[in-house]
Amino acid sequence: MAPVKEETHFINIYVYSQILRVLYRHVIPVLAVLSDLINVYSSIVITWVTYVVLFCFPSLRSPGNQIKIQHGNHANRTTSHPAEQTIHTDLIPQIAENLTDFQDQVALSQVCQSWRNVLSSSGSSHRERIPKPPCLMLSAELPMTRSFFSLYNNRVVFKLDLPADSSERRFWGSPHGWLASVDFPNRSVQLLNPISQAKLDLPFLVPTVNYEALRAHWSDMLVKMLVLKIKIQPPQFLVMAMFRHRLGFNRVGRDDRQWILVDNPHDFSFKDATHFQSQIYVICEEGTLRVDFHDGLVPTRRISLAELMDFRDRPITTRLTFLAPHPVNHFVGHRYERTGRVYLAASPDQLYGLFRYSSKDFGYERTIIFSLFKLDFDSLDWEGVECIDEEAIFIGNGNSWSICEAQSVNCRTNSIYFTDDMRSGSGLDVGVYCMETGVTESLRFGANVPLSQPLAAWITPGLIPFPLILGSTTS
């Protein structure tokens, strides 16, 4: 057989990236109509469309920053050139940056192993620049199967079996691609990526003394688990365990065998927490607190969160600093009961406090209205907020967070999305509250009805979101 005839062309990186940008903006929406059939192959199709465009328009090729594009006589081809030899891997994160729909990101990762490695090891800086749409993780037919309802597509986009060892494992969502989970019967704490199925085991978070006698007590006392992103690049995370009167932190990737426990001499009753402008803030029944870390050998020296992630061979002490009580004299109507569920959510510029009100007139406790405030750090007072413009806030069973350009990911602006986060609740209290109209609407999922257990949770899906766990995952 005749050898393959090859030609080599060079194109400018900028021109090439612009072609890809246009193709992804205009071709992907058309392909989305058929996404159930071809979503896994959409990136492959677009790549070959790019080749055709470049071949037909030689004027786009120019020297300088170069990418090698190889093509030959397909009738005589006896070997194929893998994708990693035809597209420079430095461009792959740029392509991923312009993909809003997570299904397209998955398709991109399936082109070849080298592309998947690049997407996994490139950190998350490119994914921070534009908002990504959350999914709502819902229970499905089987105990350990979950449906993922995409707000961007307004439908269930995939169902996955979670690799859990027990039906008693509880899950909490996050905007970082990870589920935090605890299985009390098996004394197991994990981070789980539902897409890649990567798992990272963390040390168990309660003392072993009299554990079996107090197991139900510990399970009931656990409010939530949170995944806090401390640094974008290179990515660094803290996992936070929040009990009613105890807080604990674990530094992901540090192989910490014990949790950093926070002293709570005033017996505050914790509700939610978030990371905002290099500090960790906690909201409790009594007000809002800041968590401070100190050098155990120099108690007056505060440790920043960046230092904390690399702090070694020295004891660490903690302190809770009370900042502000809850707003008072805020009344929303005699029929609405303040649930006691309060939340902290951070945008780039504001720390929001959310107060949830409900009614039992519907046969179950249903959220009716939210009161929203922002913290003034100069006066340490809460100020009422009537409008959050282009933002959307997500709260419930896991992290609370804000998306700044909500409309770009098909979410409602000036709105609060919420899930039922009461273990004794019906699981049905899932919806969206409009700040402008003051109206709460239930979200519609078709046959995928939220159940009381396991509770629904918001999660922003991702591939393996940070490279430090690649050598530590278990399967």
The predicted-structure confidence for 292-318, as pLDDT tens digits, reads as follows: 999 999 989 999 999 999 898 899 999
The predicted-structure confidence for 378-404, as pLDDT tens digits, reads as follows: 999 999 999 999 999 999 999 999 999
Q: How far apart (Å, rounded) are the C-alpha atoms in residues 218 and 245? A: 11
Residue carrying structure tokens 């939610």: 272
The predicted-structure confidence for 263-281, as pLDDT tens digits, reads as follows: 999 999 999 999 999 999 9
- Using alpha carbons only, how large is the chain's radius of gyration in Å? 25
Q: How far apart (Å, rounded) are the C-alpha atoms in residues 340 and 328? A: 14
Among residues of the chain, what percentage have pLDDT more than 70? Answer: 67
User: Is residue 54 over pLDDT 60?
Assistant: no
Average pLDDT over residues 12-27: 48
* CB-CB neighbours of 408 under 10 Å: 16
Q: pLDDT: is 387 or 66 the higher one?
A: 387
The predicted-structure confidence for 141-197, as pLDDT tens digits, reads as follows: 777 888 899 998 888 888 888 876 667 889 999 999 899 999 988 889 999 988 878
DSSP 211: H
Please answer whether residues 161 and 144 qualify as being in contact, where contact means their C-beta atoms are separated by less than 8 angstroms.
yes
Band of residue 48 on the pLDDT scale cut at 50, 70, 90? low
Q: Among 69-78, 209-218, 271-280, 328-337, which stretch is predicted with the lowest mean pLDDT? A: 69-78
Give residue 284's pLDDT. 94
| Mean pLDDT over the full length of the chain | 77
The predicted-structure confidence for 99-138, as pLDDT tens digits, reads as follows: 666 667 667 766 777 776 666 665 444 445 567 889 999 8
DSSP 213: H
Give residue 208's pLDDT. 67
Q: How far apart (Å, rounded) are the C-alpha atoms in residues 412 and 73? A: 50
DSSP helix/strand/coil, 205: coil
Nearest to 374 by CA among 364, 383, 366, 365: 383
Q: pTM above the 0.85 mark?
A: no
β-strand partners of 295? 298, 316
Total residues belonging to the chain: 475
CA distances from 448 to 109, 148, 391, 404 (A): 28, 10, 27, 28
- Domains of the chain in start order, with CATH, are 13-34+90-130 (no CATH), 131-210+218-459 (2.120.10)
Nearest to 418 by CA among 361, 347, 460, 369: 369
Q: pLDDT: is 90 or 41 the higher one?
A: 90
Side chain identity, residue 428: L
